[in-house]
Amino acid sequence: MAADPIFNREESLRRRLNAFLSRSFELPEHDYYTRLSAEAFLDLKSVLADINNILTLRVSLAFVKWVTIHLNLDARAKFELETAILRSKPNANGFDVWLGYPIAFVAEVKCNIPINKGSVYGAQQRHGIEKDVTSLLEGKQKASMNPQSCLKFLAFLDRPEIRAANQHLLGISKICKGRLVFVAEGTELNRHDVVYGVYVAPEA
């Protein structure tokens, strides 16, 4: 039996970084890892810290398109939603998306990807979703909307591994079971005692 190859941490990181840059930016194959200085890595780390904020923004805007269609909102309401999202600062208090009129609703956006490219959330990710479900049902201290008398949504990226992780979550979470209801074809959006889970696909 052949021995397992010896793992080299730096070589693994080098391959992943080089492959990502070549694939994502259509760059020629090259050892970009070696060309980056410590200062350049620090700059890159600073930029990548905003990745979750970028994803949240894109998913929020995709959710606005979804909710506009499913709640039959007019162009003015859609514009107000998009404007509020673009003007809000990252990690601001309150709900990610909300509307008081003509149909009141609140929504949170989750950009969790199951850990290790699997189909199950990690404990911290699961607790984050449970916390959002609870706050959507019971309210947030600094939010301007009281969610108890309006529709509630939790928007996720539409990816197979996320759908699988959510299915697993519903089977193990006492908080989410029966309280987080994923929208399917024909689902009527008329309950205030549950959080409607929706899947959206941001535009490239």
Residue spans of the domains in the chain: they are 9-48, 51-200
> How many other C-beta atoms are found inside a 10 Å radius of the C-beta of residue 72?
10
**Angle of helix 75-87 versus helix 51-70 axis, rounded to 10:** 170
Can the peptide bond before residue 5 be classed as cis, meaning omega within 30 degrees of 0? no
pLDDT of residue 139: 86
Angle at 48 between CA 44 and CA 49, to 5 degrees: 120
d(CA 59, CA 110): 8
Q: Which SS3 state, helix, strand or coil, does residue 15 take? A: helix
User: How do residues 3-22 score in pLDDT, each as one tens digit?
Assistant: 667 888 989 889 998 998 89
Q: What Å distances lie between residue 58 and 16, 55, 111, 145, CA to CA?
A: 25, 5, 10, 23
Judged against a pLDDT cut of 70, whether residue 114 lies above it is answered with yes
pLDDT of residue 174: 95
User: How do residues 54-75 score in pLDDT, each as one tens digit?
Assistant: 889 999 999 999 999 999 999 9
The residue written with tokens 């990610």 in the block is: 96
81-95 average pLDDT score: 85
**Token duo for residue 34:** 């070696």
For the chain, what is the mean pLDDT?
Answer: 90
More confident residue, 156 or 92: 156
